[in-house]
């Protein structure tokens, strides 16, 4: 005779009762239909894994604000935000698949090991059915790999390395944010128009996966214009003082400095470059210029006056006037008192995209989510018509080129959109050399 009970995690506990009345050892196994952290109660738990400390903590704080707003909207609170503008009408503000959305949080510390440990805790201890977040590509690649192993969906936050949906892509992972190749493709025509095709560039690059692929992408794009790359120098994440890396630029013969930095590193390196007198210096008969390939409003705010006239690219900006952007800016502003960053936007959108996929699929099974997101086309989320490409789980949409404003009207009005690069101009083949290696593989439900 056998007795059966179901645990809170969906594990089936069986004990065979021998004829003499002695119980056999307990055996734990999952029923065939189960998957990792299948919600069995009245709620589904999402894990928000963001940098609450470290070099990208400012981005992380805004990401967390956006996630909390998304949960509020999914559960019917507030004004609904982008639920009203999203082209998919599966979500109604009544939770997801009849379940209330709840969340737990973790601190990635902008460190891969800490991020994996945090995500693992949320999956194993808290029962998170999905992990999302991060402001570092090193973190994103590490956590994406973990989620593939453990059988949960990973909706990447702010990750810009080509590798996230290139050599390190995973079937359980999805990226809404744009990537380094797209930044290069969008920026190149604007740089040529404003600075010409006869330039010498010096790169300072964050020494990890994002920096490497950003350097590769922007160098390839500018060299195709006729620019010469004079030097490429790697800098440690969180360096703080970049003076030792900036001093050699002065005598290098370069007339453009490309800062492949993000977060506080970009704030510090750009501010110090301006203090060194590089901006406006005459070299090779030209004005010395500085380029920041990946921009954000938070970074511009941190760098202040130093951003004036500096070109870069961004995934989204709060000044956009489409209905989705206006709805999100309004909701976020009412709740927090200031406009959202691009980090906040992509994380809010990712939370809604996961919820929508689960609702359309009628399931939280990771493989059902993958099927619902692969090849999904949508609009109304602030970036125009967007495709989640099935081959690599990368979103393709318009990319913004921005420039630091000369005369900002407020502490938030620091960047102006100078070009909207259409999605087709930044689209590449799935087997492009910059994205080569690695296999998407099969979805893992984890059971």
Name the pLDDT band for 238 (thresholds 50, 70, 90). Answer: confident
Which pLDDT does position 263 carry in this prediction?
A: 87
State what percent of residues in the chain have pLDDT above 70: 93
Structure tokens at 58: 């400012």
Residue 23: is its pLDDT beyond 50? no
How far is it, in rounded angstroms, from Cα 399 to Cα 397?
7
Identify the three-state secondary structure at position 8: coil
Domains and CATH numbers, the chain: 8-17+32-178+319-397 (3.40.50.2300), 181-314+402-426 (3.40.50.2300)
Identify the three-state secondary structure at position 92: coil
pLDDT in tens, 95-123: 999 999 999 999 999 899 999 999 999 99
Q: How far is CA 328 from CA 323, 356, 377, 378, in A?
A: 9, 17, 20, 16
In this prediction, residues 123-146 reach a mean pLDDT of 95
Identify the three-state secondary structure at position 117: helix
pLDDT in tens, 383-393: 999 999 999 99
Whole-structure pTM value = 0.90
The residue with tokens 């989705």 is: 324
Exposed, middle or buried by CB within 10 Å (0-12, 13-18, 19+), for 125?
exposed
pLDDT in tens, 340-395: 999 999 999 999 999 999 999 999 999 999 999 999 999 999 999 999 999 999 99
Structure tokens at 233: 């120098």
């Amino acid at each position: 005779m056998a007795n059966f009970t179901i645990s809170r995690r969906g594990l089936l506990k069986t004990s065979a009762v021998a004829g003499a009345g002695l119980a056999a050892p307990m055996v734990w196994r999952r029923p065939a239909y189960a998957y990792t952290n299948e919600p069995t109660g009245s709620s589904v738990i999402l894990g928000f894994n963001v940098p609450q400390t470290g070099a990208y903590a400012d981005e992380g704080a805004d990401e967390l604000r956006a996630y909390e707003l998304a949960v509020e909207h999914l559960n019917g609170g507030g004004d609904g935000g982008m639920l009203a503008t999203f082209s998919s009408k599966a979500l109604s503000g009544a939770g997801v698949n009849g379940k209330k959305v709840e969340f737990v949080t973790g601190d990635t510390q902008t460190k891969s090991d800490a991020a994996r440990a945090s995500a693992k805790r949320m999956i194993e201890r808290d029962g998170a059915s999905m992990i999302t977040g991060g402001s570092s590509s090193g973190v994103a690649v590490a956590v994406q790999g973990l989620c593939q192993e453990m059988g949960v969906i990973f909706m990447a936050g702010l990750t810009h390395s080509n590798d996230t949906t290139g050599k390190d892509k995973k079937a359980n992972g999805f990226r809404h944010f744009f990537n380094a190749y797209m930044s290069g493709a969008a920026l190149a025509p604007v740089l040529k128009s404003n600075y010409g095709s006869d330039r010498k560039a010096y790169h300072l690059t964050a020494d990890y996966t994002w920096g490497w692929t950003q350097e590769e992408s922007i160098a390839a794009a500018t060299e195709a214009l006729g620019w010469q790359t004079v030097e490429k120098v790697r800098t440690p994440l969180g360096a703080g003082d970049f003076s030792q890396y900036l001093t050699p630029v002065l005598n290098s013969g370069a007339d453009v400095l490309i800062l492949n930095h993000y977060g506080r590193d970009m704030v510090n390196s750009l501010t110090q470059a301006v203090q060194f007198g590089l901006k406006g210096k005459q070299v090779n008969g030209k004005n010395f210029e500085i380029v920041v390939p990946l921009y954000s409003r938070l970074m511009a705010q941190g760098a202040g006056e130093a951003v004036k006239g500096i070109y870069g690219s961004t995934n989204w900006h709060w000044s956009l006037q489409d209905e989705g952007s206006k709805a999100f800016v309004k909701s976020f502003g009412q709740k927090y008192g200031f406009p959202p960053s691009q980090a906040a936007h992509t994380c809010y959108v990712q939370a809604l995209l996961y919820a929508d996929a689960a609702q359309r699929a009628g399931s939280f099974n990771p493989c059902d989510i993958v099927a619902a997101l692969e090849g999904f086309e949508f609009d109304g989320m602030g970036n125009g018509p967007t495709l989640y490409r099935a081959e690599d789980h990368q979103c393709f949409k318009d990319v913004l080129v921005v420039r630091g404003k000369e005369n900002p009207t407020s502490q938030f009005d620091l960047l102006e959109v100078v070009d909207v690069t259409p999605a087709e101009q930044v689209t590449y083949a799935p087997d492009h050399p910059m994205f080569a290696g690695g296999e998407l593989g099969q979805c893992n439900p984890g059971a």
